[in-house]
Amino acid sequence: MHWSLPLILAPCVGSFLGVLILRLPRGEDWIWQRSACPSCGTQLHPLELTPFLSWLFALGRCRHCTARIPLFYPGVELAALVVAASAAAVLDGWLLWASCGFGWVLLTLAWIDQRHFWLPDALTLPLIPAGLLVIWLQVPSRLWENGIGAIAGFALLAGIAWAYRRIRGREGLGLGDAKLLAGIGAWVGWQGLASVVFIAAASGLLMVLVARIAGRRLEMGDSLPFGPYLCLGGWLVWLFGPLRLLG
C-alpha cells in the first residue's frame, strides 16, 4: 500500500496541474478561483471535477452547454498517473513521494513550455533547493556533486544561448532552459547532465523527424520548445541513471 497511494492520488494531482498549466501563463488565480466550463463559464460542482470519471460520464461534454470538453483535462490527469507509476516501478518510501513531486513539476513545465514557450521561474528555481535537499537526505556525500550539477547545468545552456545570440544575431535558447537544466542538475548531479542533454536533443530531433514524415513543414527559423525534452531527459536520468556511455 505504501507505493499505491501516490498512484491513487495522481489523477487528483493531475487535475490540479491542469489548472496550473492553464492559469499560470495567463496570470490568473490558480489557488482560490473555482473551476468553470471553458465554454459557458458555469462553475463546476465537486462531482463534476472527479478525475477521469466526470469526463467519461459526461461523454466529454459540458452538461450545462453541451460543448466539448478538451481532451487536455483527462490527458494531464493520465500523464500525472504515468509519472507516479514510473516512479513507483523503481522507488519506494519517502523517495517515491519526492520523485513524484519532481516528476509532476517537470510535467507541468513541459506542458507550459510546449503551449507557451515559457518556463516560469516559480517552477524551475524551486527545483534547485528541492533537489539538493533530497540528495542531502539520501546521500549527504553527494551534495557537492549535485551543487556542481546545478551550476554546470545553468552555465552550459546559458553559454550556448549567449554564443547562438552572438553568432546568429537572434535568440535561440532562453534562460528559462538554463534555469530548468540547473534544477535538473541539482537532482541528477553533474554526472547526469550529459545524458539529460543527449536524451533531450535526440528526442527533439526525433519529434522533428516525425513531424516531417507527418507532412508538417518546418523551416530553419521555426521555434521549437526545448523544455519538454529537457524534462523528459531529466526524468529518465533521475529514475534510471546516466546513459552507460555518458555517465
What is the pLDDT, as a whole number, of residue 94?
Answer: 94
Domain count, the chain: 2
Q: In this structure, are residues 62 and 40 in contact, taking their beta carbons and an 8 Å threshold?
A: yes
Which amino acid appears at position 225 of this protein?
P
Other C-beta atoms within 10 Å of 190: how many? 18
Other C-beta atoms within 10 Å of 176: how many? 23
**247: pLDDT confidence band, cut at 50, 70 and 90?**
low
Same domain, 97 and 72: no
Same domain, 64 and 105: no
Please compute the mean of the pLDDT values over residues 60-71 and round it to a whole number. 78
pTM of the model as a whole: 0.92
Same domain, 122 and 238: yes
Q: Which of 89, 113, 141 is the last residue of a domain?
A: 89
Q: Which of 89, 111, 127 is the last residue of a domain?
A: 89
Distance CA 196, CA 184 (A): 9
**221: pLDDT confidence band, cut at 50, 70 and 90?**
low
Same domain, 209 and 247: yes
Q: In this structure, are residues 80 and 17 in contact, taking their beta carbons and an 8 Å threshold?
A: yes
Distance CA 69, CA 36 (A): 11
Q: Which of 65, 89, 113 is the last residue of a domain?
A: 89
Same domain, 63 and 167: no
Same domain, 142 and 181: yes
Q: Give the domain extent around 77.
A: 1-89
Q: How far apart are the first and last CA of the chain?
A: 34
Same domain, 20 and 119: no
Same domain, 69 and 142: no
What is the pLDDT, as a whole number, of residue 210?
Answer: 86
Which amino acid appears at position 155 of this protein?
A
Please compute the mean of the pLDDT values over residues 15-35 and round it to a whole number. 87
